[in-house]
Amino acid sequence: MQPGGHRFDPGQLHQKSCRRVKLMMQWISAIGGVWLVPIAAILVWGVIEIVKMALAHQERLALIERGIHPDSVKPDGVRKDKLA
């Protein structure tokens, strides 16, 4: 028995998920296949940019933890004060 005195029916779980899938498919078909590619491209680009920002932040924190001023390091990893 489930809370509230109801019996568990696994078929109801499947029915709910099928409804969700049908609604999702209807939504996708309503948008149209032509617009789906640019939307997906924009979403992927956004995720890539967020990951790049997170990695740059981690690298900056690692430099700070090592006692290196992050602005004294060029993007290729060479320290500016070690040049010459």
pLDDT digits (tens, 9 = 90+) for 28-49: 778 777 788 888 899 999 999 9
Answer yes or no: is 69 within a domain. Answer: yes
Number of domains present in the structure of the chain:
1
- The residue segments making up the domain with residue 69 are 10-82
1 in any annotated domain: no
Q: How far apart are CA 30 and CA 22, in angstroms?
A: 12
**5 lies in a domain?**
no
What b-and-e string marks burial along 39-72, b requiring 16 or more CB atoms within 10 Å of the CB?
A: eeeeeeeeeeeeeeeeeeeeeeeeeeeeeeeeee
Side chain identity, residue 23: L
Residue 62, pLDDT above cutoff 70: yes
- Inside any domain, residue 39: yes
pTM confidence score: 0.54
